[in-house]
Structure 1
């Protein structure tokens, strides 16, 4: 039997790298995509195929998808994982940086879906898995553009799920909580660059410390990326996957708290969690 083919974006580290490994172990032919192919040597060593991809460059996206179809004739699973966190006070963040955040986290995701969907529709099967965040359900200080991007992923996924149901295509949202990857350290660096000085500096430093702590190898306040990878694999191999998988440290309790608490009460919870003082 021909194995199913998966394309995982943002696969050079963290959740994407772990997902590529787990899907490979589950029997998928896996294409791991990222801007830097050299960072995926370890994946190649275990049988994952590495390809170059910048989701913000249409020519790059088209070339990557065309290569997979030329070699395999199909893509059964698209894991839209590429993304990053751009933090800073709304007043401080240049709109060019806001655009860059949306280009990667939202428009890049949408373009990848556009490229694989005609083939999935023709075969009347396939799964598109969009990696959002628990932060697509609530916001934190200095995270306006990151959270806006993840709220958008939630909305896009809901619309896609209804649009694609008649064609036998599943749309799944993955909502990780705090995960132990380099993402937190990169986001912390970004917030210090943007709001580490000026009137927002105390908030900026508090948020940076909180974000950076999730990248520490000994932290108890973040889950392993394998937790998310296992959920992705469960969804990919399920006959009827759930529409959402909320996994990882803090995801379920924080989303639940947002649903039941008044706005200002939840604000207080988040400020305490991020170390931001009123």
Structure 2
């Protein structure tokens, strides 16, 4: 069965997210670990987590994905901001031990003029500070669209980060369909070619999750503007091929389209139809 969900607000806690997921016929979901535009995080509620885990087991919810705040930039030119990124990630991973065995996704960051090579080095340094043998969460690098000075538009940049991380067995990749399209990878016209390149450069065994989004922009625009499924330049048929591709069909998919819950419910039904 297709594992698919959407991004939900964590404001009311894990159990509330689980109930919202079931309401829209999702069997997974994504959430921000804290304010996406800041650093503040709510205190953990162990009782809420316990009730959620029981609910998730009863309703077949699996492989949830935590998303780091957008403000986390491990390759900033500002040393203080790099330290803050490491502290935020370390705290997030400690909190995720309440729900072990899932994934934590983050945007690699922006090198802000220092150059991709310097940015890659800083990102790997942060991960080497944060990852420890005691953690039970897989950390995912997200593919990026390449706007501004983002690190991670090319698969080769992600591979270089992975190669520099000492505990790379705790690492993986989240492929965002809008981002790779905006980054220049033609998943609509040559999905097999894109996946073959990913496999050669990174390895499909590293691919742990997919953000399923259409794009408001044409191929290679480097702008990162998500669109509803079927309302963008990638198109419904191409995204349907993504979820049904033999190399991808067993992965969890997470919608980040500009929707409310009813819109997500429609898109989940669209993606499941005929599978």
Do the structures match in fold with TM over 0.5? no
- Pick the structure with greater CA Rg: 1
- Normalised by the length of structure 2, the TM-score is 0.36
Q: Report which of the two has the higher share of helix.
A: 1
